[in-house]
Amino acid sequence: MTPRMLKQTLEEWSREARVPGDLADRALRRRSRLRLTRFAGAVSCAAVVAAVALLVPLVVVPLFTEESISQVGGPPVVVPVEPYRQATPAEDVLTDTENSPPETMIAAGRVAVSAYYTWRWRTVAGRKLFDRTWYLLNPATSRYEKTEWGWVEVAPGLRWAAVLEKDLPARRIGIFDMETRQVRAWVPVDHPVGGVSWSPDGTRLLATAYDDYPDLDNVSVEERRCPARVAATPDDPLQPPFQMISTSRTGFYVVDAATGTAGDFHAVDPCWTENSNVRRDFEWSDDGTLIRERSNVWKRPDAFLDLEGRPHDAPPGYVSSESKAGVSPDGTLLAGPDGMPTKVTELSTGETVGHQQVLQLLAWADDRRLVALGCADTCGNEFHNGLVLVGVDGGDMVQLSVYRKNSQESGTWQPVLTLR
């Protein structure tokens, strides 16, 4: 029972109470037995407390609630977060080719659609905001449930999620238990955050801070631009000097999920890298030792920071990838850039080992198959697309989701893939 529910229950009892008409006479007659009366009063209070204790288990608490086990400013909490270990899924492929957006779990090999969002533009105070409505997987029912969160990020293993409240940026981060459907702990932050990312082992969070709404359209941030920079090389196609949109991003926190505590805030210059995105969430490096900012400028490498926010060289063996899928789990193959057909190359030789008739390679299902974005029918319209499973050689394609009529249209759902 929450404090609010307990207060309501006691108020209802007080309205039902009846005061005897001879209460004053009784008090005068029993004045000489004041000590006994006090004792009786104490017993009565104990009886009320016992009654409340007996009633508490009878209160039905909704499965999905923002009430947390650990409140901000309350005692420390230990969340039973354990390092992620890849397990063999009970079912290799799960599809929902009847519902759009999907209603039942979609998965292939080692990855699953852990959440998805639908989007729309809305105008606030003359500025256009990209607004998401999030749907989160319930592992117990294998169905997706609508949420009221402003941001959702599911940890590897599909047990925990990090959530932010609707009005971004948010002043606290929720550690959400996907089994009980409750926030297990709230992590307060002094600098509001607009995005979170789980470490590869699922024990830490990287929270990116912003001092304004992180999903404004480009027109709404015209006044926030970085200085023009001269291209680094004479043959750079971006010459003459160009300007990149600034961002309201201010820095980051590293959060320990098990204790629900945020480390120190690390400020980062918003013009540190050349980037045309307004939202610029930081990500973890593949081994979780560094922080990465993906480049969206052609031929510009990703940038790295250490956990203290200092610029750092790329980690040894780092391979820049032009696709979301990146390097295969066994480290031998590299997914190629977007655009039909896509390709996969051998990492050691650079030789192409297969082409795929899909638009984007999103994630590796295993060492020989990928989850991709494929076109419907003969791909007459590239925006008429959906999730497919495809082999490295381009064969054995399996449709995973309904093909969306127009993936660029407001209200369309966008999948989020997570290791399961």
> How would you class 167 by CB atoms within 10 Å of its CB: exposed for 0-12, middle for 13-18, buried for 19 or more?
exposed
Classify the C-alpha dihedral 134-138-139-144 as positive or negative: negative
Amino acid occupying residue 131: D
Of residues 101 and 75, the one with the higher pLDDT is 101
pLDDT of residue 247: 84
Q: What are the structural domain ranges in the chain?
A: 3-60, 65-84+155-309
Task: Tell which wins on pLDDT, 100 or 69.
Answer: 100
Residue 215 has pLDDT above 70, yes or no: yes
pLDDT at 309: 97
Binned at pLDDT 50, 70 and 90, residue 290 comes out as: very high
Could you write out the DSSP letters of every residue in 363-391?
EESSSSEEEEEEESTT-SSTTSEEEEEEE
Q: Report the DSSP beta bridge partners of residue 186.
A: 174
Which pLDDT value is given to residue 53? 42
Q: Is the dihedral of CA 66, 72, 78, 84 positive or negative?
A: positive
Residues in CB range of 316: below 8 A, 6 or more apart:
none
DSSP 43-68: HHHHHHHHHHHHHGGGSPPPSSEEEE
Cβ contacts of residue 140 below 8 Å, gap of 6+? 179
User: Given pLDDT bands bounded at 50, 70 and 90, which one contains residue 321?
Assistant: confident
- Please give the mean pLDDT across all residues of the chain: 82
pTM of the model: 0.79
Low-confidence winner among 27-41, 241-255, 309-323 (lowest mean pLDDT) = 27-41
Map tokens 């780092």 to a residue: 318
Is the pLDDT confidence value at 45 over 90? no
Q: What are phi and psi of 174, to 5 degrees?
A: -95, 135
User: In whole angstroms, what is the distance from residue 118 CA to residue 69 CA?
Assistant: 29
Predicted confidence band of residue 319 (pLDDT cuts 50, 70, 90) = confident
pLDDT at 76: 59
Residue-wise pLDDT for 129-141, tens only, equals 999 999 999 999 9
pLDDT-derived band at 222 (thresholds 50, 70, 90) equals: low
Check whether 124 has a pLDDT greater than 60.
yes
Q: Give tens-digit pLDDT for 86-116.
A: 888 889 999 999 999 999 999 999 999 999 9
Label residue 278 by pLDDT band (50, 70, 90): confident
Distance (Å, rounded) from C-alpha 326 to C-alpha 164? 28
Residue 270: its pLDDT value, please?
84
Mean pLDDT for 257-284 is 91
Instruction: Give the whole-angstrom CA distance, residue 225 versus residue 246.
Output: 4
Over residues 174-197, the mean pLDDT reads 96
Task: Report which DSSP code applies to 104.
Answer: B
